[in-house]
Chain A
Amino acid sequence: SQTIHQWPATLVQPVGSPLSLECTVEGTSNPNLYWYRQAAGRGLQLLFYSVGIGQISSEVPQNLSASRPQDRQFILSSKKLLLSDSGFYLCAWSITSTGYNNQPQHFGDGTRLSIL
């Protein structure tokens, strides 16, 4: 069966510090991968998605970046964190689909990021 691992679960970082959140998927090949952010009490905001190694699409201009160095590894990074980067970050995967996005997304447990 497929599993998704996301770490760390909680992170407290000072303003201006770098960030690296990692997500890995097991039990499937060539998944679509996604990074979302959820502000407290709010809905989901798609940050990045990837349909293959080295292929990253960004949805929202920001000081975050994403990379996919391996097929089942997705990394969210920042060189200098801002206060506004605080939130709940979720990684997700879905089976590759052609045309319409008809596959459900499966989520990791999330990382609660607090910027001080």
Chain B
Amino acid sequence: AQKVTQAQTEISVVEKEDVTLDCVYETRDTTYYLFWYKQPPSGELVFLIRRNSFDEQNEISGRYSWNFQKSTSSFNFTITASQVVDSAVYFCALSRSNYQLIWGAGTKLIIKP
């Protein structure tokens, strides 16, 4: 069965701290894609990154970085020097072959000033 687990329901840190959001997935597929989305308080979901199963290189985009490890079936997301504007719910998702995504339950990130 395919599944995405985001075990951290809510994380609260003080501004400028680094924070890592965990994502663990289960799939029997050899080809798959993983995604991260951000949902700020306004509600819309914003696409952050896509990673395919054959590319295990870590990715960095400004203060955001992603660590993909097939050996542990994890695709973790780190925010460096967090800011209040990073406060949001973050979702990890896994692709399925029939046009769908398997979504994690989300992690609510609270950045305190």
Contact = CB atoms under 8 A, between A and B. Distances in A.
B75 to A, nearest CB: 14
Given A90-B45, A107-B45, A102 B104 contact: no
Contacts of A94: 99
A74 to B, nearest CB: 14
A7 interface: no
B103 A108 contact: no
B112 to A, nearest CB: 20
A105 interface: yes
Given A43-B106, A101-B96, A109 B101 contact: no
A44 B44 CA distance: 12
B49 to A, nearest CB: 9
Nearest to A49: B99
Interface string B36-77: 000000111111001010000000000000000000000000
Given A32-B99, A46-B100, A104 B106 contact: no
Given A88-B43, A100-B32, A107-B44, A43 B97 contact: no
A108 B47 contact: no
Contacts of A32: 99
A44 B103 contact: yes
Contacts, number: 60
Instruction: Decide if the interface of chain B is mainly helix, strand, loop or mixed.
Output: loop
A105 B44 CA distance: 12
Contacts of B33: 100-102
Contacts of A92: 45
Contacts of A80: none
Contacts of B32: 100
B8 interface: no
21 contacts: A42-B105, A43-B103, A44-B45, A49-B100, A51-B99, A88-B43, A94-B99, A97-B99, A100-B29, A100-B33, A100-B96, A101-B96, A101-B101, A102-B50, A102-B95, A104-B35, A107-B44, A107-B46, A109-B42, A109-B43, A110-B44
